[in-house]
Amino acid sequence: MMSAEANGAYSRRPEIGLDRPDWMASLPDHLLLSELSLPGTHDTMAHLGGDDASQSADLFTQLHSGIRALDIRCRNEPHEGLDQLGIWRRLTFQGTWFLRDVAAVCREFLTSHPRETLTMRIKKEREDHEDSRRSFGEVFLSYREAFPGLFWDGPSRIPTLGETRGRIVVWQDLDSCAETPRFGLGYSNRTPRLPPFAIQDEFWVPTPAAIGDKWKAVQRHLLATNRGNRRAWWFVNYLSGASDGCAPHICAGGSSGGEAGDERTANPEGITRRMLALLRSGRLGELTDPAAERGYHVPLVCAGTCMMDFPGPALLDTIIDLNQR
């Protein structure tokens, strides 16, 4: 069986091998971002941590490969005499900082590709350092002032592509949202239906044998995405999953010897390869819709926003190309 990396569904290499920096340029301005099929990365900056890492490609490479939804996990902590947002994955500091390694890279990209739009979940990954003098929200607002016009600052609703070209739309994911200045759309994966978001993030995959259960959750959300009102709801689907018993790269890429949907083996096929096959089929079938047993299939016309670990070039290309249908 061809591996997920060989067929382009999965990539654990620092270069993804895809050049799609301007794929949004030709799309009409009136489309809501929630109506698009957006490729994204889960824990976008998590390169360190050994088997706990979620990505191999750096942010510059991801953006040029067509990725438009970012997941940035931060901690407010002192650095070089100032309160700054460091980038973390769980307990591992990634050696990068929001101002220098995220905001500056995104600004450079959007300056060169002004008809593109980025979405960015900003999550408070850990509590503020005890020596911090300003709150997380205050630090971020200072960054917004340092990059005028970079972050979309419109009303609390789903924006159109035309409104947000050349800008970043923030998903604000803080435990203390009510006490923090608003700098983005309110977001929480702990509340799967927090308007305007409808989120699937069943991240717990205890062993490789449980990848099939995660895949069913992904398919159910794809069904909801294609049956639901994408002008009222922003459907976000996390393809990522992990635990101490199943590393992110195993859930994403699988292991040799497993067949798609085979839950009897300890080495089932990974999520990325299953996703690529489903998208190429163009329809949602038996596993997601009981009516399919009667010959009824739901056309798969939109992937929603897909947050992925180690996505490969063929998977990214296929998600992007759904926007041309």
- CB neighbour list of residue 37: distance below 8 Å, 6 or more residues apart: 302, 303, 304, 305, 306, 319, 320, 322, 323
Residue 290: pLDDT band with limits 50, 70, 90:
low
The mean predicted confidence, pLDDT, of the chain is 89
Q: What is the pLDDT of residues 277-288, one digit of tens each?
A: 999 999 886 555
Domains in the chain and their CATH numbers? 33-324 (3.20.20.190)
Q: Pick the range with the lowest mean pLDDT from 19-23, 192-196, 320-324.
A: 192-196
- State how beta strands 92-97 and 82-89 pair: antiparallel
Residue 180: the pLDDT is 64
Q: Between 30 and 173, whose confidence is greater?
A: 30
Q: Check: CB of residue 46 under 8 Å from CB of residue 94.
A: yes
Residue 262: the pLDDT is 42
Q: Pick the range with the lowest mean pLDDT from 40-54, 121-135, 246-260.
A: 246-260
Q: Pick the range with the lowest mean pLDDT from 36-45, 114-123, 214-223, 259-268.
A: 259-268
Q: What is the pLDDT of residues 60-83, one digit of tens each?
A: 999 999 999 999 999 998 777 788
Residue 129: pLDDT band with limits 50, 70, 90:
confident
- In whole angstroms, give the CA distance from residue 189 to residue 297: 29
Q: Is the pLDDT of residue 241 over 90?
A: yes
Residue 260: the pLDDT is 40
- In whole angstroms, give the CA distance from residue 266 to residue 57: 28
Cα 307–Cα 319–Cα 201 angle in degrees, nearest 5: 20
Q: What is the pLDDT of residues 216-236, one digit of tens each?
A: 999 999 999 999 999 999 999
Question: Residue 173, class by beta-carbon neighbours within 10 Å (0-12 exposed, 13-18 middle, 19+ buried)?
Answer: buried
Tokens of 190: 């702990």
- In whole angstroms, give the CA distance from residue 172 to residue 126: 15
Q: Cis check for the bond before 268: say yes or no (omega within 30 of 0).
A: no
- CB neighbour list of residue 54: distance below 8 Å, 6 or more residues apart: 41, 42, 43, 44, 46, 89, 240, 248, 309, 310
Over range 266-273, report the average pLDDT: 81
**Does this model's pTM top 0.95?**
no
Question: Residue 318, class by beta-carbon neighbours within 10 Å (0-12 exposed, 13-18 middle, 19+ buried)?
Answer: buried
